[in-house]
């Protein structure tokens, strides 16, 4: 075979393998939105936090946040972080955590608390799903998290999403195995999405193998100022990189 023909053959094969590589990498980063657990139906009205949503809408009517900000979506750990915008300044934080919400509630209000702001970044933290009268399994928590991120991906495909690990709390330490399993399942899902990252908050909240009681309020569930200060040391450097 003439050298010219050999060169052409290997050149064409080089392009073939390059295209195969591109397709392989693309498939590795395609989010897996399929469920892994039986469906779960809430035993509470998902619009029970309507008053909190109305307060957000009133605030938006007075001054609508600029598009392209960083939306905090989730439950009371964000709700009680009333100084998040100051603690994380100059990052454009839009804190829309509400009450003791669960993932079905965050999904129900996704249009009003996430998508209306056309965020560049969404940070998700929601920890109550396994602790109600009708608790979810870790697998069902994972599925609810996946359902929320699919809604965000469908409407804001270029948004960067961060999933914060469910935190270790003294009052819920007896269910830590379920919490750890849910975190692992969510982390595994996040790996399938190239614009999605997992933030592990446990290292700054654990002392001698248990939740550090000095960073919690008397309820042993919600954090005090020191707890949030530690969260800042983890979240701020990560969020600054995405800006």
| pLDDT tens-digit readout, 77-111 | 999 999 999 999 999 999 999 999 999 999 999 99
Task: Give the pLDDT mean for 214-242.
Answer: 97
Across the strands, what pairs with 195? none
Residue 204 backbone dihedrals phi, psi, to 5 degrees: -90, 0
Distance (Å, whole) CA 189 – CA 184: 9
Contact between 204 and 230 under an 8 Å Cβ cutoff? The reply is yes
pLDDT at 44: 97
pLDDT at 116: 98
> Given the structure tokens 């042993």, which residue do they identify?
220
pLDDT at 23: 38
Residue 125 belongs to some domain of the structure: yes
Task: Give Cα 124 distance to the centre of its chain.
Answer: 3
pLDDT at 41: 96
pLDDT at 101: 96
> Given the structure tokens 């003294």, which residue do they identify?
170
Task: Give the pLDDT mean for 145-169.
Answer: 97
Task: Give the pLDDT mean for 130-142.
Answer: 96
Residue 120 belongs to some domain of the structure: yes
* Residue 1: pLDDT band with limits 50, 70, 90: low
Residue 162 belongs to some domain of the structure: yes
pTM of the model: 0.88
238: left (phi over 0), alpha (psi -120 to 50) or beta: alpha
4 pLDDT above the threshold of 70:
no
| pLDDT tens-digit readout, 177-196 | 999 999 999 999 999 988 99
206 pLDDT above the threshold of 70:
yes
Residue 37 belongs to some domain of the structure: no
Residue 27 belongs to some domain of the structure: no
164 CB-near residues (< 8 Å, 6+ apart): 74, 123, 124, 125, 199, 201, 235
Task: Give the pLDDT mean for 115-120.
Answer: 98
Q: Which domain holds residue 70?
A: 56-242
Average pLDDT value for the chain: 91
Query: CA 204, 201, 186: angle at the middle one, nearest 5?
Result: 155
Number of domains observed in the structure of the chain: 1
How far are the Cα atoms of 28, 126, 170, 221, 223 from residue 218, in angstroms, in the given order?
Answer: 45, 20, 10, 8, 9
Assign residue 159 the CATH number of its domain. 3.40.50.1110
Task: Give the pLDDT mean for 12-28.
Answer: 44
pLDDT at 17: 43
174 pLDDT above the threshold of 60:
yes
pLDDT at 26: 41
High-pLDDT (> 70) share of the chain, %: 88
């Amino acid at each position: 075979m003439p050298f010219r023909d050999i060169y052409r053959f290997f050149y064409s094969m080089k392009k073939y393998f390059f295209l195969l590589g591109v397709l392989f990498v693309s498939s590795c980063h395609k989010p897996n939105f399929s469920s892994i657990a039986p469906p779960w139906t809430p035993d509470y009205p998902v619009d029970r936090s309507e008053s909190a949503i109305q307060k957000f809408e009133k605030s938006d009517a007075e001054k609508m946040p600029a598009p392209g900000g960083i939306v905090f979506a989730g439950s009371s750990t964000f709700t009680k972080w009333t100084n998040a915008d100051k603690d994380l300044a100059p990052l454009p934080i839009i804190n829309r955590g509400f009450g003791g919400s669960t993932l079905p509630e965050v999904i129900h209000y996704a249009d009003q608390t996430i998508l209306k702001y056309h965020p560049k970044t969404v940070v998700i933290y929601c920890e109550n799903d396994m602790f109600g009268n009708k608790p979810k399994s870790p697998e069902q928590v994972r599925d609810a998290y996946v359902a929320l991120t699919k809604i965000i991906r469908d409407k804001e495909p270029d948004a960067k999403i961060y999933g914060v690990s469910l935190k270790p709390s003294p009052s819920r330490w007896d269910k830590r195995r379920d919490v750890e399993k849910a975190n692992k399942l969510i982390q595994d899902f996040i790996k399938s999405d190239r614009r999605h990252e997992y933030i592990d908050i446990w290292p700054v909240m654990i002392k001698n193998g248990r939740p550090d009681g000095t960073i919690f309020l008397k309820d042993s569930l919600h954090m005090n100022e020191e707890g949030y200060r530690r969260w800042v040391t983890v979240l701020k450097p990560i969020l600054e990189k995405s800006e």
